[in-house]
Structure 1
């Protein structure tokens, strides 16, 4: 079996047997198409060696100048392909077996909004919803609140159906990565009121869609549309940073950690498979603590010790 045939068979397996989301399958398709183009579409998969994989990684990092995060993601997809080929007994030995290959990622803390930026964004969204009163403004107001209090991924929020919503309890059933289901909550009167206000305007729009979030034309609101409208809203709110839905996810997690919520609860809310992924937000909290202490400057404030 050559690489091209293996790639197509694996993608069919992901669609049919694993029932992965179209978004995930498209991502796999992109990663494996790149590998096939670089290694050769028609070479046998059984002939690919550890040296081929090392050369492929080296080419991406050195010749193509790809970021380490992109290379690591692509290699994770390639590894899934070969693991499946080995399980299907298409290849006698997985070239990833005992492969010593480490791709170091730069250590970066998640970007989150400050409390002041959160206030500005929420206030602008609320103002436009109340003053304008349009369906578009109402849906955006609810989206901003939902992302900030739940930490949902934008694709998860866009994929919520009306049947996934318990309006009275403020509970939303979400299907995350790997089709894993979890419940998220809209805590407090403000979040529930934003939901109710949006649902009132939604009920006045003719639509055949069961999606919770719909446009004024009755069509489902897509993640790209949410990204564009959130960025524009942030500009109108006077924020100088480019704001994305994922930044609001980071903001939600950071605020919960700083409020003292147990990290395992935050892990469950965000849908992280491993708590190690969630633990990075404790570092964000520590960074915030240090910044606050530096600003407090206890000795300087009370006229304390001078440097000697």
Structure 2
């Protein structure tokens, strides 16, 4: 029997966001947890892909509400890739928007980043201002998880977002679109019943039989 993907609990989500040492890291985690983006998609984002105002028509975008555009690009200097190869947009919640604002303040303090259009850049050392790499992002997330006392990996954030949508009753077709899955089979991995589901099903039938 295939096991469901490893996900973070609500408490672990709060802890990992609080444990982030920089506004950049907090925004990266909030974005991954709130949108289900792949880490490569997040690291490939440019500032023009961030539409976090209620109305983006002045940007030539007719999509209402805060959202992020995931655009496949082949020329990312950090090697980041949007796996599906198709453009999509994903709505974002207020927590992600607020985290982005804090990130911009921090990012604007890195003089070397002024000429870089990537959303996520290195904040210090000789690589300051350059686009953040996958290995760097992976190490950052793993270190934050270690500080919290549990395992954390970039793709776990995507699993957590997808599982939360399914648990909230979002139609699997919608989840498939949000995740950018080409096949419904890729989304089906999140359709596992939890222990609570099993107990609720038995209790529901038992309650009906006792009437």
8 Å CA contact 2:23, 2:102 repeated in 1: yes
| 1:167 CA drift (Å) | 2.7
Q: TM-score when scaled to structure 1?
A: 0.53
- Greater RCO structure (CA 8 Å; 6+ sep): 2
Match of 2:67 in 1: 171
Q: Larger radius of gyration, structure 1 or 2?
A: 1
Which residue does the alignment assign to 1:196? Answer: 101
Contact 1:120 1:238 in 2 (8 A): no
RMSD over equivalenced CA pairs, Å: 2.0
Residue 138 (structure 2) aligns with:
227
> 2:84, 2:180 within 8 Å by CA — same for their partners in 1?
no
Partner of residue 117, structure 1: 12
Q: Is the 8 A contact 1:124 1:233 kept in 2?
A: yes
Q: Which runs of 5+ in 1 are unaligned?
A: 1-105, 129-136, 299-308
Which is helix-richer, 1 or 2? 1
1:249/1:178 CA distance change after superposition, 3 Å: closer
1:143 matched residue in structure 2: 28
Partners of 1:262 and 1:210 in 2: CA distance: 35
Cα gap change, 1:114 to 1:288, in 2 (>3 Å): farther
Q: Secondary structure at the match of 1:177?
A: coil
Once the two structures are superposed, residues 35-65 of structure 1 have per-residue CA deviations (whole angstroms, 9 ceiling, x without a partner) of: xxxxxxxxxxxxxxxxxxxxxxxxxxxxxxx
Q: Find out whether 1:183 has 2:94 as its counterpart.
A: no
Q: After the TM superposition, which segments of 4 or more aligned residues of structure 1 sit over 6 Å from their partners? A: none
Return the alpha-carbon distance in structure 1 between the equivalents of residues 139 and 147 of structure 2.
13
Instruction: Give the conservation status (yes or no) of the 8 Å contact 1:173–1:182.
Output: yes
> How far, CA to CA, are the matches of 1:288 and 1:247 in structure 2?
20
After superposition, residues 32-51 of structure 1 pair within 5 angstroms as none
TM-score, normalised with respect to structure 2? 0.76
Contact 2:4 2:189 in 1 (8 A): yes
Q: Which runs of 5+ in 2 are unaligned?
A: 55-65, 72-81, 204-211
